[in-house]
Amino acid sequence: MADPVIVLGAGMVGVCTALHLRQRGHAVTLVDRRGPGRETSYGNAGIIQREAVEPYAFPRDWAMLARVALKRGADVNYHLGALPALAGPLGRYWWHSRPASHQRIARSYARLIEHCLGEHHALIERSGAQDLVRREGFRDAFREADSMRQAVADARRVADGYGVRYAVLDSEALAQAEPALRRRLAGAIHWLDPWSVNDPGELVARYAALLGQSGGRVLRGDAGTLRQAGAGWRVRTDEGEIDAPHAVVALGPWSDGLLRPLGYRYPLFVKRGYHRHYSGGEPPRLPMLDADGGLVIVPMRQGVRVTTGAEFARVDAPPTPVQVPRAHALASELFDLPQAVEAQPWMGSRPCTADMLPVIGAAPRHRGLWFNFGHAHQGFTLGPVSGRLLAELLGGESPVVDPRPYAPARFG
């Protein structure tokens, strides 16, 4: 019988980690303060992004930096008081965004991304979640011809380098593909490989139900109570204290707060994001990134979800949803979105690392402690493959990809 394992965090990454461990015979207890898929995994755009082989780089052109500094769009906002604490990680993020460094990082990133559809497919089939998934891709739409020309050149380069598929739609083709559009755009890039999910939180919940059906436990508990107990680890739950030889930290943006008292100082930071659902109008047929506006418009079961870009702030800072009205105004130029569904916008946080790669593997200084966090914008996409990789490492199996680029020890 394989060793018992505690997995902390019931987002996409934590749930998939628990599933892969259970599949390998481990007695698994998944612990979270809320139900599965109710935090960051609930609020994303719901796209399994097979095309996202290159992580987001820090902008390096002065026009974009000026737009960010002046908070002109829906894509970026920041809290001035949070910037001193963010200066170190963001400085390293900027350094790693140099073209040569970013190219090297992208090769490691792409090795995970290339497994995302296959790993999700297996879990979708086993959990009976086919009703949530569309396999028709999504579109990057452009208001300006110049930005579209540059994006098409980038898409061609990415397709040549990584084998992803796309189609270019001119203004007329996009208007025919999306008849609800209220204005003509320059065109779009249709990424053909990605899948979209009409309720991301529900997909995570289905995966968690599959864990329960296979013999794993899902308990409410406080990850902050994690302590060493003899040769293993202990955490407090609503059903009492749980002990196991191994514990996996998959807490996304809250991982740093748990690990600092244990002596780990990783260059981590959060990007907060907001969304709101709207009803009453005709939705887009496929998810659409308004590339020039800096927002995503997605048809969901709850309504049309309009998501903002990034907000740089402390993870526990009060919401400042200034981007939401901007995003709604821009989205309303494209689609009729008359009625907000929620009284208040949703807010969540994405866990980011300075080198843009997730942290997956054994803790350098604590026996039986494992890390699986730092997936930035792609935790929803990468949860199944990073969960598999962590389970393979914990069990001493041959890993699905070379784990060295994501090793916790890489930061020293």
Which value, in Å, is the radius of gyration of the alpha carbons in the chain? 21
List pLDDT tens digits, range 183-215: 999 999 999 999 999 999 999 999 999 999 999
- Is it the case that residue 60 has pLDDT exceeding 90? no
Over residues 161-173, the mean pLDDT reads: 98
- Is it the case that residue 71 has pLDDT exceeding 70? no
Residue with tokens 């086919």: 130
- Is it the case that residue 62 has pLDDT exceeding 70? no
List pLDDT tens digits, range 262-273: 999 999 999 999
List pLDDT tens digits, range 336-384: 999 999 999 999 999 999 999 999 999 999 999 999 999 999 999 999 9
Dist CA 31 CA 303 (whole Å):
30
Domains, the chain? 1-57+98-130+196-267+355-412 (3.50.50.60), 68-83+90-97+131-195+269-353 (3.30.9.10)
pLDDT band at 230 (very low <50, low <70, confident <90, very high): very high
- Residue 74 pLDDT: 76
| DSSP conformation letters of 320-365 | -TTHHHHHHHHHHHHS---EESSSS-EEEEEEEETTS--EEEE-SS
Looking at 37-46, 68-77, 280-289, which range is the least confident one?
68-77
- Is it the case that residue 61 has pLDDT exceeding 80? no
Residue-averaged pLDDT of the chain: 95
Over residues 312-331, the mean pLDDT reads: 93
- Residue 93 pLDDT: 93
pLDDT band at 134 (very low <50, low <70, confident <90, very high): very high
Beta-strand pair 288-290/138-142: parallel
- Residue 412 pLDDT: 76
- Is it the case that residue 66 has pLDDT exceeding 80? no
List pLDDT tens digits, range 4-57: 999 999 999 999 999 999 999 999 999 999 999 999 999 999 999 999 999 999
- Is it the case that residue 64 has pLDDT exceeding 90? no
- Nearest CA to 240 out of 29, 12, 14 is that of 29
- Residue 347 pLDDT: 96
- Residue 75 pLDDT: 81
What angle, 0 to 180 degrees and rounded to 10, lies between the N-to-C axes of helices 99-113 and 83-96?
A: 90
Q: Are the CB atoms for 386 and 353 separated by under 8 Å?
A: no
List pLDDT tens digits, range 88-116: 999 999 999 999 999 999 999 999 999 99
- Residue 70 pLDDT: 62
pLDDT band at 67 (very low <50, low <70, confident <90, very high): low
Sequence letter at residue 248: V
